Chain A
Amino acid sequence: MDILIYGTINSMALALMALGFALVYGISRIPNFAHGALYVISGFVTWGFVRALGVNYLLSVFLTMIIIGVVGALIYRFILIRVRGMAISEIIASYAIGLAILEGLRWGGFKGMTYTLPVFVEGSVDIAEIPVDFHRLVVVGIGVAVVAFLWLFTHHTRIGLALRGMAQDERAALMLGIDSDLMAVVAMALGSMLAGLAAILLLPLGNIVVEAGYNVLILAIAVCIVGGLGSWMGAVLAAFLIGFAQILTVTYLGSHYQMVVALLAIIFTLILRPSGLFGQQKELEERV
C-alpha cells in the first residue's frame, strides 16, 4: 500500500519536473538543457522573496512564476533563437546556459543547508494507516490540475492550438500566419514556468541545493525519452512508469539505486523502442 501511495506521489513529482521540458521540446524542437537550472533558480528566487524580503508566500510564488517565465523567454529571444534548427548547437548553447547559472550560483555561495522553503500546509494525514503529509497531497493535486490545464489549453485556446500546429509542421503553421519565433518564445516561457512551479512544489520537501539542477535535468530527460520526445501525454505516463520503478527499487534494493533506474530506463528505451512509448508520429507518417 505504501508503494502505491508513495509511487503516485513520486510519479507526479517526476511528471511535474518533466512537463516543462516536454513542452518546449514538443513545440520548438529545442532540447532545453537549461531546464534544471531554471528549476533551481526558481527555488532561490522564491527563497529570496519569502525568507530574505519577507513577502507573503503566495505572492512570492506568483512573482517567481512570472520572473522565471520572463527569464525563459529572454533566454530564447536572445540566445537560443540564433542556433534554432541546429541540434548540436541547441544542446551546447542551452547546456552552457544551465551550467553558467548553476555554477554561478554555487560560486556565489548559494550552498549548504540553510536554504529551505516552507511547505504549503503543515501536518499530515493517515491514508490506509500510512502517514502522508499534506504537502505531498498538494503536489499530487496540483500535478493533476496542471495536466488538465495543459490539455484544455492546447485543445481549446487559439494560442494553444497554434502551438500544436507548430509542433506538428512548422512550415505549414507559418503559411497560416503563425509566427514561429513568437510561438517558441511562448513555449519557452510556459516551459520555464512549469519548471518554476515544479521547483516551488517539490523543493519544500528538502533543501534547495545546486546539485538538484543536474538531477532534475536527467530525470526530465529520462521521462521524456521513455515517453517519446515531444509527447506530453507520453511524458506523464512515463513519469508513472519510472516513478513506480523508483519506489520499488527504493523499497527492495536501497535508496541509492534511485538514479540508476532513470538512467537504465533511458538505455532500455533507446534499445527496445527508440521513439519512446508514444512516438506515434513516425508510424503515422509511414501510413500516409
Chain B
Amino acid sequence: MLEATGLMVFYENMLALNNVSISCENNQIVGVFGANSAGKSTLMYTLSGIMEDIKKKEDMAGRERITVLGAIKYLGKDIMGLKPSQRARQGIILCPERRRIFPESTVLENLRIGGYLASPPQKKESLEYVFRIFPALEKIKKRVGGFLSGGEQQMLAIGRALMAQPRLLLLDEPLLGLSPLIQVLLVRSVKEIRDERGVSIIVTEQYARPVLPIVDYAFILENGANTGGAIGQP
C-alpha cells in the first residue's frame, strides 16, 4: 500500500532521517519504535506531507533550509511533493503527536471539522462508528476540546482522524502521557479499527510494550536511521 524508500530529511545540515525505508501492506499495523529525537515525528510528517508545508513556510521566512530526499509510493503512485491536503484526499491521514485538538470547539464540532473530506452519509456513518468505539466521547460531546483530559483528547484525535475517511492512518505517539489503563483501551481500539474498517495503520511509540501485541511488523529507529532490527515479517 505504502512504500517509502531511502527517505532523507535534513534541517540545514542536521540529518533528521537517514536513509529510512518503510512499507505498509493493506490491512497491516506497522510499528515504528524509537527514543526521543529518533526521527519518528519527522518520518510521520514526511509521509503525510506536513513536511512540505513546514518546508514552504521556512523557505518563505528565510529560516531553516529543509531538504527532503527519497521516494514515497502510495497505491502504486509517487506522492512525493504532493501537498498535505492532496495526500489526505487520497486517504493518508495523520493523527499528530500531542493530539492537537481544536481547543475552542466542542467535541462534536471537532469531529465535524474532521469530516471535511467526507460526504454527508459517510460523515453520519463515521460519527456513529466513533461514538460506538469510544462511548466516552458521546457523553461529553458538548464539552469544549481544551477542557478534556489527556485520554479523552487522544480518543477525540483518533475519532477526528477517522472522520476524514482514512485508508492509511498514521498515529504519532498515541499513548504519550496516558495511564496504563487508557493505554490498554486505546491499543484495543486501534486493533478494532484495523479489523472493522480495513484501515492500514502506522503507529509510532517510545515504549514498544503496550503496542507490541497488535503490530504485524515493527522496526526500530535510532538517530534518524533504521537500525535494521525488526520484529515480525514484513
Partner of A165, one of B48, B61, B105, B146: B105
Instruction: Assess the A177–B88 pair: CB atoms within 8 A.
Output: yes
**Stretch of B8-16, B95-103, B221-229 that contacts chain A:** B95-103
Q: Chain B residues near A162: list those with CB within 8 A.
A: 113, 116
- For the complex, is B164 an interface residue (Cβ under 8 Å from A)? yes
The chain B residue with its CB closest to the CB of A165 is B113
Instruction: Give Cα distance in the complex from A68 to B160, angstroms.
Output: 35
Instruction: Assess the B161–A176 pair: CB atoms within 8 A.
Output: yes
Instruction: Assess the B164–A176 pair: CB atoms within 8 A.
Output: yes
Instruction: Assess the A84–B113 pair: CB atoms within 8 A.
Output: no
Size range of the chain A interface in the assembly: 20 to 34
- For the complex, is B155 an interface residue (Cβ under 8 Å from A)? no
Q: Chain A residues near B60: list those with CB within 8 A.
A: 82-86
The chain B residue with its CB closest to the CB of A162 is B116
Determine how close the nearest CB of chain A comes to the CB of B142; give it in whole angstroms. 13
Instruction: Give Cα distance in the complex from A173 to B53, angstroms.
Output: 12
Instruction: Assess the A171–B100 pair: CB atoms within 8 A.
Output: yes
Partner of B102, one of A82, A85, A165, A287: A165
Instruction: Assess the A173–B113 pair: CB atoms within 8 A.
Output: yes
Q: Chain A residues near B164: list those with CB within 8 A.
A: 176-177
Instruction: Give Cα distance in the complex from A66 to B97, angstroms.
Output: 41
Q: Chain A residues near B117: list those with CB within 8 A.
A: 176-177
Determine how close the nearest CB of chain B comes to the CB of A152; give it in whole angstroms. 13
Given A171-B100, A175-B50, A284-B103, is A161 in contact with B161 using a C-beta cutoff of 8 Å? Answer: no
Instruction: Assess the A174–B50 pair: CB atoms within 8 A.
Output: yes
Instruction: Assess the A86–B61 pair: CB atoms within 8 A.
Output: yes
Per-residue interface assignment for chain A, residues 175 to 189, with 1 indicating a CB less than 8 Å from any chain B CB and 0 otherwise: 111111010000000
Instruction: Assess the B113–A284 pair: CB atoms within 8 A.
Output: no
A-B contact count (CB 8 A): 97
- For the complex, is A169 an interface residue (Cβ under 8 Å from B)? yes
The chain B residue with its CB closest to the CB of A169 is B100
Instruction: Assess the B103–A172 pair: CB atoms within 8 A.
Output: no
- For the complex, is B147 an interface residue (Cβ under 8 Å from A)? yes
Size range of the chain B interface in the assembly: 35 or more
Instruction: Assess the A164–B109 pair: CB atoms within 8 A.
Output: yes
- For the complex, is A288 an interface residue (Cβ under 8 Å from B)? yes
Instruction: Assess the A155–B61 pair: CB atoms within 8 A.
Output: no
Q: Which residues in window 164-218 of B have CB below 8 A to A?
A: 164
Instruction: Assess the A174–B84 pair: CB atoms within 8 A.
Output: yes
Question: Which of A83, A168, A180 has its CB near the most chain B CB atoms (within 10 A)?
Answer: A168
- For the complex, is A122 an interface residue (Cβ under 8 Å from B)? no
Q: Chain B residues near A171: list those with CB within 8 A.
A: 50, 53, 96, 100
Q: Chain A residues near B83: list those with CB within 8 A.
A: 179
- For the complex, is B104 an interface residue (Cβ under 8 Å from A)? yes
Instruction: Assess the A175–B94 pair: CB atoms within 8 A.
Output: yes
Question: Which of A168, A176, A287 has its CB near the most chain B CB atoms (within 10 A)?
Answer: A176
Instruction: Assess the B116–A168 pair: CB atoms within 8 A.
Output: no
Instruction: Give Cα distance in the complex from A162 to B114, angstroms.
Output: 8
Instruction: Assess the A168–B102 pair: CB atoms within 8 A.
Output: yes
Instruction: Give Cα distance in the complex from A177 to B165, angstroms.
Output: 10
Instruction: Assess the B102–A155 pair: CB atoms within 8 A.
Output: no
Instruction: Give Cα distance in the complex from A164 to B102, angstroms.
Output: 9
Determine how close the nearest CB of chain A comes to the CB of B87; give it in whole angstroms. 8
Instruction: Assess the A280–B113 pair: CB atoms within 8 A.
Output: no
Q: Provide 16 A-B residue pairs closer than 8 Å at the C-beta atoms, listed in order of the A residue.
A: A162-B113, A164-B102, A164-B104, A165-B102, A165-B105, A165-B113, A169-B100, A171-B50, A176-B117, A176-B160, A176-B163, A177-B116, A178-B116, A284-B144, A285-B103, A287-B147
| 8 more CB-based (< 8 A) A-B contacts, given A168-B104, A284-B147 | A86-B60, A158-B115, A162-B113, A176-B116, A176-B160, A178-B116, A179-B83, A182-B85
Interface of A toward B, CB cutoff 8 Å: 82-86, 155, 158, 161-162, 164-165, 168-169, 171-180, 182, 280-281, 284-285, 287-288
Interface of B toward A, CB cutoff 8 Å: 48, 50, 53, 57, 60-61, 83-85, 88-89, 93-96, 100-105, 109, 112-117, 144, 146-147, 160-161, 163-164
